[in-house]
Structures are given as C-alpha cells and as structure tokens.
Chain A
Amino acid sequence: DAMVIQNPRYQVTQFGKPVTLSCSQTLNHNVMYWYQQKSSQAPKLLFHYYDKDFNNEADTPDNFQSRRPNTSFCFLDIRSPGLGDAAMYLCATSARWNIQYFGAGTRLSVL
C-alpha cells in the first residue's frame, strides 16, 4: 500500500498558469519535503515542513510556495510556471530527520 501519495502523476499546464501539486501520507510523519528533480540530476530540495514550521531553501524561487494544512497533506503551488519548471516533483516524508519515504512523483510539463 502506498504510504506517500502524490496527485496527479502527470500534470500539463500552460506557461504562466498556476498549478498545484498535492501530497498525502499515511505514516503520520512530522516532516514533509518537496523536491524538484530534472532529468539525470539528483533531487533538489525546495522546502520542507517540520510539523507546522516551514523552511525554505535559500535558492528556491519565490514562484514556488507550499501549504501544509494538516499532518497528512502538503501542497506545492507554482504561481507562474515557466518552461524551466518542467520537472519531476517528489514529495517525501520522514519521522524527524530519519529515513525519507518518497512518493511516486508528479511529472510536470509546461507548454
């Protein structure tokens, strides 16, 4: 059974059209992460929540925002997607700073 679920698996959006990706978890982990992964590259951390505390990576563009309304759900909002934002977006969870469990990812295409 999937423990970290990302929806949708594939998302196509238009240049500049806001898009929201979602992640839910059944593990009751207190840390949730959003990564961006481009082809043949390592996952790049965008931000994470430790409980309700939001932590942005220094080089994450303002175009990317996140919400965590409760322990189980976390959202990634891309306010004005550009062509360079086309990538796989991975959600992960961990209990404190322990092992990370990844979702299957959402592949975002920007037309």
Chain B
Amino acid sequence: GQQVMQIPQYQHVQEGEDFTTYCNSSTTLSNIQWYKQRPGGHPVFLIQLVKSGEVKKQKRLTFQFGEAKKNSSLHITATQTTDVGTYFCAGGNNAGNMLTFGGGTRLMVKP
C-alpha cells in the first residue's frame, strides 16, 4: 500500500531560524495536504497542493509539491514560538481515495 514518510521526526531550532520538513511518498499522489497540530490540540488543515511543481505561500510558510508528485516540503522562514507543533503531510492517491498521513515532524522553537 501507499506509504508516506516524513523527515525529520523532530527539529529543534532557535527562534528566527528557518525550518524545513520533507515528505516522500512511495507512489504518485493526486494531491498533498499539510496539517498542523499544536501540543495538546488536534490537526488543523493548512493547505492543499494539487499540481505538479506547485508552490504556495502563506506568510512565512512555503509549500512545494514535487514535479513527479511524489514529494513535498514545508519551509518556515524565521520561526516564531507560535510555530511550535507537529506538522503532518497527508497524500491522496490517484484512485481518489482517502489520505495517507506521514509520521509528522515535531518542531520545537527556543525563544
């Protein structure tokens, strides 16, 4: 079955440093979604990418979808303490079925 891997599992950064998490799928994806889960909270949808090579920005967050639609990345510029949480990617397969979640990257930001 489809597998979605995320690296790194954990990342500590100093406030103001950049952060990137990577997502790789074993199969071609129809779309990729990103979710953020704050400590003690629930996953909250951030963005969806559908097109090959697509890049989307949300303020300090930049999301990319690979040309082959098998990988994706989330980059945060100049992290803030409010960015703390676990970031999950979730891939949809071409059969149009449900999402497969990656293992998540837990971001910790030191003030």
Interface set of A (CB-CB < 8 Å, partner B): 31, 33, 40-43, 45, 48, 90, 92, 97, 99-105
A4–B56 Cα distance when bound, in Å, is 27
Say yes or no: A100-B44 contact (C-beta < 8 A), given A40-B106, A42-B88, A42-B104: no
Is B92's CB within 8 Å of the partner chain A? yes
A41–B102 Cα distance when bound, in Å, is 10
Is B43's CB within 8 Å of the partner chain A? yes
Most buried by A among B43, B45, B101, B103: B43
Interface set of B (CB-CB < 8 Å, partner A): 33, 35, 41-45, 48, 88, 90, 92, 96-99, 101-104, 106
Interface SS, B side: strand
Q: How far is the CB of B88 from chain A (nearest CB, A)?
A: 6
Say yes or no: A42-B96 contact (C-beta < 8 A), given A99-B33, A102-B42, A103-B42: no
Q: How far is the CB of B89 from chain A (nearest CB, A)?
A: 10
Interface SS, A side: loop
Chain B positions within 8 Å of A104 at CB level: 41-42
A52–B88 Cα distance when bound, in Å, is 28
A102–B99 Cα distance when bound, in Å, is 13
A42 touches B42 (CB 8 A): no
